[in-house]
Amino acid sequence: MSEIWKRVVPEQSRKGRLIEEGSADCQEQTQYRWVNLNPRIDYYCEYVPPTPEPQYRWVNLDPTVSGNYYCDTTTYTKYYKQQRQVSYDGGTTWQNVSPAEYQRGSAYETQSTDCGYVPPTPTPYEQQYLTFVAQENGTIQYGNIEYEVQSTPSVDYSLDGGNTWNTLLYYGTVNLSQGQKILWKGTFKPQGGTYVLKFNTSMRFNVEGNIMSLIYGDDFVDKTSLTGTVYTFEYLFNGCSGLTSAENLILPATELVHSCYAYMFNNCTSLTKAPALPAINLAKRCYSCMFSDCALTTAPVLLASVINENSYNYMFENCPLNYIKCLATDRRAFSSTNNWLSGVPSTGTFVKAASMNDWPSGASGIPSGWTVENA
């Protein structure tokens, strides 16, 4: 009877007898490694530069761009906004750090409107004392030594914006620095034929504010009457060769009196800008020689319809005028415009009232060679 063998379940195994030595079927996988050689004998050389340390800086952003500044809303001061940057190549190139970092820098602007500052509304010139603004260092002289000093009234002046006042009795001088302002007031009402309110200086300066503070003191605002005076401001600035501008001087009187502004700016050889002349009711000699020998190229507009005796007499003599607007319709009074444009350039523009056809040609009317236009 033959033998039958079966595998046991689960299978079992064990090492049996030797079949083959050094069998290729039983070799292990090859392995590799790196070993350091003796560096005293075998080595390589290579320069490795040191890695620079990062450098940092703060840079100002453009403060004129919205959001690129900081504000102190208490003092209304505007500050630079600074952003942090880094360089990894010793400062050759820079880049903003990430995430972005900012800090407040130095002050850029005080009283900044971007930070809530609201500038005060300027006081209208009508509400300001008569004021001189020095354009250079110099001296202002008040009074006129050609006449008895007793005929010269005292005036008050201020060098601190009207906080404190000093008095000049009859005659005196005040020293000013460039940019400094001097305010004037008084209560004298001129009555005689000699000029008693008078300033003298060769210093360059501008005049502004309300002329009425010289005769109404502190109560000058809204005053428009010269009643009770004659020759009120005659010769006031006569010969002040350094006076350059009176465009912000207010002459508010609407009804003038005898010789009130006569010779007021006569021989002010540097005067290029005149004050407005709002008066519509003139008086004898009111503007006589007012701007003679000045440097005006444009005359103030003349609004009055009726020109009185000698009202415009020699008014713009020897001025380099090239433009006049005069709305007069009646110049029949004696010597009303006698030589008022004597010595002006040969060409210019004259604007007249459309209904006025009574202008003669020449120095006492419209200069020949000038272009005539209707208003």
| R_g of the chain computed on alpha carbons | 47
b/e sequence 317-344, b meaning 16+ C-beta within 10 Å: bbbebbebbbbbbebebebbbbbbbbbb
If one counts every other C-beta atom within 10 angstroms of the C-beta of residue 305, the result is 16
Is the pLDDT at 193 greater than 60? The verdict is: no
Q: What's the full length of the chain, in residues? A: 375
Residue spans of the domains in the chain: they are 55-115
pLDDT attached to residue 255: 92
Where do runs of H (alpha helix) occur along the chain? 213-216
Taken in order 346, 349, 352, 357, is the CA torsion positive or negative? positive
Query: What percentage of the chain has pLDDT greater than the value 70?
Result: 93
Average pLDDT over residues 16-28: 70
pLDDT tens string 249-279: 999 999 999 999 999 999 999 999 999 999 9
Q: Is 70 helix (H, G, I), strand (E, B) or coil?
A: strand
pLDDT tens string 361-373: 999 999 999 999 9
In this structure, of 106-110, 194-198, 251-255, the range with the lowest mean pLDDT score is: 194-198
Prediction pTM value: 0.72
| Angstrom distance (rounded) from CA 249 to CA 199 | 15
b/e sequence 152-177, b meaning 16+ C-beta within 10 Å: bbebbbbbeeeeebeebebebebebe
pLDDT tens string 26-59: 666 667 788 888 888 888 888 887 888 999 999 9
pLDDT band with cut points at 50, 70 and 90 for residue 149? very low
pLDDT attached to residue 1: 54
| Angstrom distance (rounded) from CA 100 to CA 84 | 7
Q: How far apart, in Å, are the Cα atoms of 1 and each of 4, 164, 273?
A: 10, 151, 151
Token duo for residue 65? 């761009």
In this structure, of 18-32, 63-77, 272-286, 338-352, the range with the lowest mean pLDDT score is: 18-32
CB 369 within 8 A of CB 347: yes
| Angstrom distance (rounded) from CA 305 to CA 265 | 23
pLDDT attached to residue 298: 97
pLDDT tens string 207-243: 999 999 999 999 999 999 998 888 889 999 999 999 9
Token duo for residue 361? 């040609």
Is the pLDDT at 68 greater than 80? The verdict is: yes
Token duo for residue 302? 């003349």
Q: Is 340 helix (H, G, I), strand (E, B) or coil?
A: coil
